[in-house]
Amino acid sequence: MQRSVAIRSGLFILATLVALVYLTPTFISNLPSWWSEYLPADRIHLGLDLQGGSHLVLEVKVDKAIENNIERIKTDLINLLRERGISGVSVERVKGTQIEVKSPAANVERVRGLLKSDFANLEIIDTQTSGGTTDFFLTLSKEEMRSLRDYAVDQSLETIRNRIDQFGVSEPTIVREGQQEILIQLPGIQDPERAKEIIGKTALLEFKLVDDNANIEDAVRNPPPGDEVLYGRDGKTPYVLQARALMTGEYIIDARVRPGQQLQGPYVELILNARGARLFEQITAANVKRHLAIVLDNRVYSAPVIQERIGGGRASITGSFDIKEARDLAIILRAGALPAPVEIAEERTVGPSLGSDSIQQGIISFVVGSSLVIIFMIVYYKGAGVLADVALIFHILFLLAILAAFKAVLTLPGIAGIVLIAGMAVDANVLINERIREELRLGRSVRAAIEAGYERALPAIIDTNVTTFLSGVILFQFGTGPIKGFAVTLCVGILTTVVTAVYMTRIYYDWRMSTRKLEHISI
């Protein structure tokens, strides 16, 4: 008996020491350097609701990515038909993700052959022949679509990660969630609106020619074929542009902010790769004296006149930016375009002052709540109550240590969970103590009453904790950020209460019983 008590107390002392080691970084801020070298140096992680920051869920519009892809295939198909001299064939994108090819009877076989040889990833889902023309309806295979969707989400994630890294946020979390969502957590961010601007921009950069022949007023009402009307950054100035983009931003390898001359604001200089440089040179050479519009996400940033052929792969975007805007623009151009537009499906932003208020309120209610419980237990159970209170304090120690050790995130509901668990932690002691009292009333010896108290209360203690634990698990499965924090404290707290309230208090009684004859118990 004595040996078992010694072993069990030893284990508990060891566990306590380990717990203290894990908790030291949380409570002592300037630790010596040898500490972090050999010992755990992680503090308890605070959730965004406590330290302030932004939690964003972006939905990637993957269908748009597929439409873009179909549109590209359509363009390729048209070009190839022209190259091969197959005439009289019309190609349209229909129903979002289908391509309709209308071919006169004379060319049907050539078209079919071309589709088979050069567009093997397209499936012919329907063929209709009437009045000398044959209609092919084509679309991408299911697997192709799925991989396109996956690619769009993964690529968006990479691009966003790139942008956030350049924006400079410490310890951001950027993960894919579900089919088409991206979860972003930006702790301690000062200017969430600006971050959102940077993250959410598709950043599709296009170079388009201005249609100088078009009358703007007429075109706004009814754009000439092949043209489109886009507006400037103010959203008001209309530009009539040729709808076909001469070049897109895919050739950009770098983008930098350059100080403007004299009265002009800063501008963004683009550096293109070799292919882009060649293309840009061709475009500028062919269109000297015409206006070339620089379009970002369907907004015309500027439409300067091409003075001469521009070689060397450098282009610039001007447009009366302030320095912050220019820097943000450079970031998104460097990081590249998103393959599909994104939408903010969920946003939760907490300012730092609210976070620290919440922590303070959490601590106050914890202190008041657990003090009430501690006092009640002493008043009601006297000695046994003190024992339960000691167990409660150890439970809190272990709970916090486990949170620190497993890098769990403490949230506001999580703190509420810790407070709540303090009220539940003594439940096991109540069950044990009530049983001991009952056994004593039946006239059992103190020793037998304690033994019976623990033995007979145990099944109910286990059952009650299992049920609460189960609901915690379900909550964890379901919950998002802050709620997960609550579920975690609930589940971990239940484990630690069972250990401290049942096994730890038992060590005390066993020790008492092993050292002397226990004739009286304060309960």
Partner 1 sequence: MELIKPGTNIPFTKYRRVAVVISSVVNLAVLAVLFIKGPNLGVDFAGGTVVQLRFAQKVSIPDVRQALGQLGTGDTVIQDFGQQGSNEFLVRLEKTSVELGALGEQLRSSLTQRFGPKGFEIRRIESVGPKVGSELRQKGTWSIIAATIMMGIYIWFRFQLRFGVGAVIALIHDVLVTVGALMLAGYEFDLTILAALLTVVGYSVNDTVIVCDRVRENMRKVKRESLESIINTSINETLSRTIITTGTALLVLFALFLLGGGVIRPFAFALLVGFFSGVYSTIFIATPVVLLWEKGTRKRLIPEVRSQKPAVRDQKSEVRLRKSETK
Interface positions, 23-52, toward partner 1 (CB under 8 A): none
Smallest separation, CB 383 to partner 1 (Å): 13
The contacts of residue 40 (CB under 8 Å, 6+ apart) are: 21, 22, 25, 404, 405
Q: Which of 262, 379, 516, 517 binds partner 1 (CB under 8 A)?
A: 379
Smallest separation, CB 219 to partner 1 (Å): 27
Integer Cα distance of 49 and 22 in angstroms: 23
Structure tokens of 514?
């092993």
Q: Which of 468, 495, 511, 518 binds partner 1 (CB under 8 A)?
A: 468
111 contributes a contact to partner 1 by CB under 8 A: no
94 contributes a contact to partner 1 by CB under 8 A: no
206 contributes a contact to partner 1 by CB under 8 A: no
Write the burial class of residue 358 (CB in 10 Å: 0-12 exposed, 13-18 middle, 19+ buried): buried
Smallest separation, CB 15 to partner 1 (Å): 24
Taking a C-beta distance cutoff of 8 angstroms, is the pair 270, 276 a contact? no
Q: Which of 128, 179, 298, 467 binds partner 1 (CB under 8 A)?
A: 467
Please identify, among the stretches 73-81, 96-104, 249-257, 412-420, the one whose residues bind partner 1 according to the rule CB under 8 A.
Answer: 412-420
Number of Cβ atoms within 10 Å of the Cβ of 13 = 10
Helix (H) or strand (E) holding 416: helix 412-425
Q: Which of 73, 397, 487, 504 binds partner 1 (CB under 8 A)?
A: 487
Smallest separation, CB 237 to partner 1 (Å): 20
203 φψ region: left (φ > 0), alpha (ψ -120 to 50), beta (else): left
Smallest separation, CB 516 to partner 1 (Å): 16
Q: Which is nearer to partner 1, 250 or 346 (CB)?
A: 346
Structure tokens of 264?
């002009």
Interface positions, 356-375, toward partner 1 (CB under 8 A): 357-358, 361-362, 364-366, 368-370, 372-373
Smallest separation, CB 464 to partner 1 (Å): 4
Return the amino acid letter for 305. V
Interface positions, 163-192, toward partner 1 (CB under 8 A): 192
Q: Which of 299, 423, 507, 508 binds partner 1 (CB under 8 A)?
A: 423
Interface positions, 50-69, toward partner 1 (CB under 8 A): 57, 59
Interface positions, 447-466, toward partner 1 (CB under 8 A): 448, 451-452, 455-456, 458-460, 463-464, 466
Number of Cβ atoms within 10 Å of the Cβ of 402 = 18
Smallest separation, CB 174 to partner 1 (Å): 18
The contacts of residue 51 (CB under 8 Å, 6+ apart) are: 187, 188, 352, 355
| Packed helices 2-27 and 505-515: angle between N→C axes, nearest 10 degrees | 140
Q: Which is nearer to partner 1, 118 or 455 (CB)?
A: 455
426 contributes a contact to partner 1 by CB under 8 A: yes
For residue 208, give the DSSP letter: E
* Count of chain residues binding partner 1 (CB under 8 A): 79
270 backbone dihedrals φ, ψ, rounded to 5°:
-105, 140
Q: Which is nearer to partner 1, 88 or 459 (CB)?
A: 459
CA R_g for the chain: 35
Tallying the residues shown for the chain, one arrives at 523
Interface positions, 288-347, toward partner 1 (CB under 8 A): 343-347
Integer Cα distance of 406 and 485 in angstroms: 13
Which of 512, 394, 393 minimizes the C-alpha distance to 446?
A: 512
